[in-house]
Amino acid sequence: MKPLLLTIALIINIAAFSQNTDTIVKHRLDSIIRINHASGSNSMRKTVFSYDEYEKEIFKIYYSWNNRSNSWEEYFKEEYMHDINGNRTTLQYWWSRENNTWGGESSKHEYTYDSNTNLIKHVKYYNIQHGGKPIEKTEYTYNRKNKITRHIDYTLENDIWKKENIMKYRYRGNKIIMRENPFINILAEKHKLWHDADGNLIKQKLKLRWLCFIKTTEKIEYIYDSKRNIIQAIEKVNLETVYKYEFVYDTSYPVENIILPQFSDDFDWRYSNMLIEKRRYKKESNIWELYSTEKYYYSTASADL
């Protein structure tokens, strides 16, 4: 009987060990601290992210550092609500210090998705405390492969939606290589993208034209490490180098095991490991000067998969 019990115990221990070796510890991004070094000011801002039990971002709060009180002060908040597919509606509030509650003028963003979870409509409302009339909307169109082919921007004037902009998308394989809009109102735009053999975005160029007279060309070129993390970017405006970005990573943690909020900054979507610092330099008198620093702080989110 004893050998049988020992065999069963051994099997249980092996199974437990197997489960433990399959355990993946995830981390979540909790906050970002930005330091502005321009003109020696060293002013600081902080963004703090909060998540629900499903690790969906539910709100983030923006802070500025008060040197007099030696403390962080809240000045802006964004709240998010999600449907069962994880799609979200965004609410934004400005901080009202008079009654120490979130309030003031606020805006609301509503997102609508199709059955394939493609975003098909984005409507922006303003001053929602007083009725919240819509002021802007964007509608999106996709092809049979669920790739975006066009989006149209509208503004509401006298209760009529007026078309402001049309952006069309072109692809090479699965990669977007161009976004372009015809001249509708006062602005025309052409955005071209180049990728290497591994699919990394190595260059993008944006051309803007206002009223057929004023032209601006912005170009960004990227350098990657062996792990496909973007480590440097050079930004040029009208052929003049203006900014340089440098990125630092902890390569012990792959990005698929990191819970992140939704960023608007394109840089933050092109890395394979945990981003811990981003530096921005500005070229002054042909010398690179540190313009700003961002530091990223994480915590353990879960220990199971």
Contact predicate 35/292, CB 8 Å: yes
SS3 at position 86: coil
| CA-based nearest residue to 212, from 239, 181, 183 | 183
> Do 148 and 140 form a contact (C-beta atoms < 8 A)?
yes
- For the chain, list the strands marked E by DSSP: 26-36, 43-51, 57-66, 71-82, 88-96, 101-113, 119-126, 134-142, 148-157, 160-172, 175-181, 187-195, 201-210, 214-224, 230-237, 240-254, 258-259, 273-284, 287-302
Give the alpha-carbon dihedral of 262, 265, 269, 271, to 10 degrees: -130
Each residue's pLDDT tens digit, 255-297: 999 998 876 555 445 689 999 999 999 988 888 999 999 999 9
Residue 182, number of CB atoms within 10 A of its CB: 10
- In a structure prediction context, what are the per-residue pLDDT tens digits for the chain, which is 305 residues long? 444 444 444 444 544 444 444 577 899 999 999 999 986 677 999 999 999 888 888 988 999 999 899 999 988 888 888 888 777 877 776 665 556 667 666 788 889 999 999 999 999 988 766 667 889 999 999 999 999 999 999 999 988 999 988 889 999 888 888 888 865 556 677 888 888 888 888 888 888 776 666 678 889 999 999 999 999 999 998 878 889 999 999 999 999 999 988 765 554 456 899 999 999 999 888 889 999 999 999 998 865 54
Distance CA 190, CA 180 (A): 4
- CA–CA gap between residue 103 and residue 204 (Å, rounded): 39
Angle at 47 between CA 121 and CA 84, to 5 degrees: 40
* Threshold 0.95, pTM exceeds: no
| Residues 166 and 152: beta-carbon distance below 8 Å | yes
The domain ranges of the chain are: 30-71+186-305, 83-168
Q: Which CATH code of 2.130.10.10, 2.40.128.720, 2.170.150.20, 2.30.30.90 fits the domain covering 83-168?
A: 2.40.128.720
- Sign (positive or negative) of CA dihedral 200, 235, 62, 44: positive
